[in-house]
Amino acid sequence: MISEERRDYYAGALVALIGAGTLKIGYGYNVGTLTKMGPGYFPCALGAMLIFMGALIALAARASSKEPVVAKEIEMPGHGAFPAHPDWRGWGCILGSVVIFIVMAEFAGLLAATFLCVFVACWGDKTANLKSSALLATGITVFGVGLFHYVLHVQIPIIRGL
């Protein structure tokens, strides 16, 4: 069994090792430039970010290792890795919101699809109310339509038929 003190060091090293492998494979392709990215650009960028994240994980482990680690048992209410009473409402709302987005994007456009997707996903939270869900859905819809339609030029019309 891995000691509590070394677990984060090993995790950081593993993430950095995966990043180094990704970086090595990415350099086998044409990297290109920032304005004309080649097929190796994304793997190289991802590998560099993974190496950076691995270093941050290891540094965080070093900073927290100065405090003594006390092992304590955590009692889980369910059997194994699953809780005793899964939140089916949350699952249903999240999965339903994805289905709603797919259907609404096809028949109504990006505006309605984004709003309804976020609005339905909000109802997965038991503390959600109509006002907060509508405000969040409106904000994300404005941001999403601005980003995906006007900046990235995604080929979904804002409103179908226009």
Q: Where are the domains of the chain?
A: 4-64, 88-151
Task: With cut-offs at 50, 70 and 90, classify the pLDDT of residue 143.
Answer: very high
Model confidence pLDDT, tens digit, residues 125-137: 888 899 999 999 9
pLDDT at 81: 60
* Most confident range, picked from 42-56, 62-76, 77-91: 42-56
Reported confidence tier of residue 6, pLDDT bands at 50, 70, 90? confident
The set of residues, in sequence order, having a beta carbon less than 8 Å from that of 93 and lying 6+ positions away, is 120, 121, 122, 123, 124
Q: Does 78 have pLDDT greater than 60?
A: no
98-134 pLDDT, tens per residue? Answer: 999 999 999 999 999 999 999 999 998 888 899 999 9
Q: Which has the closest alpha carbon to 7: 63, 70, 61, 64?
A: 61
Q: Is 90 exceeded by the pLDDT of residue 2?
A: no
Task: Determine the pLDDT at residue 70.
Answer: 53
Task: Choose among 65, 55, 45, 77: nearest CA to 11.
Answer: 55
pTM of the model: 0.53
pLDDT above 80: residue 161? no
Rg (CA), the chain: 22
pLDDT of residue 3: 67
Q: What is the mean pLDDT of residues 45-53?
A: 93
Instruction: Tell me which residue has tokens 């019309």.
Output: 157
